[in-house]
Structure 1
Amino acid sequence: MPVTSSRLGGPTDRRIVRTQQLVRDALLSLATEKPFSEILVRDITERANVNRSTFYAHYQDKFELMDKIAEEKLSALGKLASPEYGLSAPPFQTDFETPDPYFLALFEHLAENETFYRIILTRMQDSSLSDRMLESIREFFYLRITSAQPSQKLLVPLDILLDYASSSAMGTIRRWFEQNRIYSPHYMALQLTRISELGFYRAMGYEAG
C-alpha cells in the first residue's frame, strides 16, 4: 500500500512540489520557443509529462501559473537587500575594484533565473510583469539605501532617487539580457557600483571644478 503522508516533507508533499516544478519549468521552456499567447495548457502538460487533471488541481490556467512563478521570483528579488538575506551593509566608500555585495547578489539572482527574466523582459507583450519587476527593483534599492546609512540626510527626495535608480537599473538589466549577458554578473555589479559611487557626471569623465 503506497504511503500518502501529508506531513510537511512527506512523500505526498515532495510529489506535489516536484509536479509543480515540472509544470513551471515546462511553461518557461515553452515561452522561450513561442509567444505566451500561443501556449496551450495541453502544451504545458505534454512538456511536463503530467495529466491535465493534475495541472488543474494546482492552477486555474496558464495565467495563474505564470503569476505564481512571477510572485516567487520577484518576491525573492525585492528581498535581496533585506536583513533576512544575510548581507551586511557596508558604508558607501570608493572602492573601484570591489562590487557592492547587494548589487552582486542582484545580478547573480538575475543570472540564476535567466529564463524567467528574459521571458518577461524580451518576449512577453504584457507589461504588467515588467512593471512588477520594476517595483521589486525599487524595493531592492529602498532597502539598500536605508540599510547602510538610515540617518544620512539625502540630497534629493527619496522618491526621486528611487525612481532614478530603479528605472536606470531596469533599463540596464533589460539591455543585458537583450545582449545575451555578454558581461558577467560580477562585472555588471562592479560597473553599477562605480556609477553609484562616482555619480553620473564623474562616471562620464568630468572632474569637479
Structure 2
Amino acid sequence: MERVDRRVRRTRRELHEALIALVLERGYEKITVQDILDRADVGRSTFYAHFRDKESLLLASFDDVRERLWADLDDTARPGPDYPVRALFEHAYRHRMVYQALCGRRGGDVVRRHLHRLLADLLAAHLRPRLAAAGSGVPVEVAAEFCASAAIGLLIWWVDHDFRYGPERLARMYHALAAPGIRAALRADDDHG
C-alpha cells in the first residue's frame, strides 16, 4: 500500500510541478491537458485517474495551499485580526514560484476566484468569534469578504511587483489600511443594516 501511495503522490507532484512551470511560461489560459502530460511525462489515462481536467488539477493545488495555511495558523496562535492575512503573505513569500504562477499576471481568473474563496472562508472562521464577542451587527460573511477582497487585491499586486516588500511589512500596510474597517465592524450594531 505504501508503494502505491508513494507512486500516487509522485505522479500528483509531477503533474502539479508541470502545471506551475507551464503557467509561468505561458499563462494558465493557454495551456492544455496535453501540455501538462507532455511536461510531466504522464499518460492521459493516469492523468484522468487523478483529475477531471486542468482546472481540477489547479484546484487540487489550492487544497495544499489551504492545508499549509491552516497548519500555519494552528502552529502558532499569533494574535491580531490581521493574522490570517499575514499568514497568507508569509506563505506566499515562502512559496513565491507557486504564487507567481497561480496569482500573478500568468494565472487565470479561476485561480483568483478560488484563492479569494479560500481566504474568505479562512477569515470568516477567524473573525466569527471576534464579531460574536463584540455583538457586532455586521455579518461575518460581509466582514470576511471585505478583508479577503482587500488582501487578494494586495496579494496580486505584490506578486506582480516581484514581492517588492517583505511579508511582514506588507502585512503591516494591509493592517494599517484594513484595521479601521475591522474596528468599525466590531463596534457596529444592527442600526446600520
Alpha-carbon RMSD across the aligned residues, in angstroms, is 2.9
Q: Are 1:26 and 2:18 an aligned pair?
A: yes
AA aligned opposite 2:13:
Q
Q: Using the TM superposition, give the Cα deviation of residue 184 of structure 1 relative to its aligned residue in structure 2, in angstroms.
A: 0.9
| Native 8 Å contact 2:23 2:102 kept in 1 | no
Does the alignment pair 1:123 with 2:106?
Answer: yes
- Residues 1-209 of structure 1: pairs in structure 2 closer than 5 A: 6=1, 10-74=2-66, 76-77=68-69, 79=70, 85-88=74-77, 90=79, 101-121=83-103, 122-125=105-108, 127-148=109-130, 150-154=132-136, 156-197=138-179, 199=180
Q: Does the 8 Å contact 1:138/1:162 carry over to 2?
A: yes
Checking the alignment, whether the CA contact within 8 Å between 1:80 and 1:102 is kept in structure 2 is no
Whole-angstrom CA distance in 2 between matches of 1:115 and 1:146: 32
Structure 2, unmatched stretches of 5+, are 182-193
8 Å CA contact retained: 1:91, 1:148: no
Of the two, which has the highest radius of gyration? Answer: 1
Identify the range of structure 1 (25-34 vs 158-167) with the bigger mean alpha-carbon deviation: 158-167
Q: How many residues get paired?
A: 180
Aligned-pair distance for 1:123? 2.1
Q: With structure 1 as the length reference, what TM-score do the two structures score?
A: 0.70
| Aligned-pair CA distance for 1:16 | 1.4
Alpha-carbon distance in 1 for matches of 2:12, 2:121 = 28
CA distance in 2 between counterparts of 1:43 and 1:120 reads 17
Give the conservation status (yes or no) of the 8 Å contact 1:23–1:44: yes
Match of 2:60, SS state, is: helix
**Quick one: structure 1 residues 179 and 12, their matched pair in 2 at CA, closer, same or farther if it must change by over 3 Å?**
same
Moved more, 66-75 or 159-168: 66-75
> Using the alignment, how far apart are the partners of 2:80 and 2:26 within structure 1?
45
CA distance in structure 1 between the partners assigned to 2:85 and 2:51 by the alignment: 34
Shift of 1:179: 0.7
TM-score by length of 2: 0.74
**Using the alignment, how far apart are the partners of 1:130 and 1:182 within structure 2?**
20
Structure ranking higher in helix proportion: 2
Name stretches of at least 5 consecutive residues in structure 1 with no aligned partner.
Answer: 1-5, 93-99, 201-209
Q: What one-letter code is carried by the residue in structure 1 that aligns with 2:79?
A: P
CA contact (8 A) 1:81 1:144 kept: no
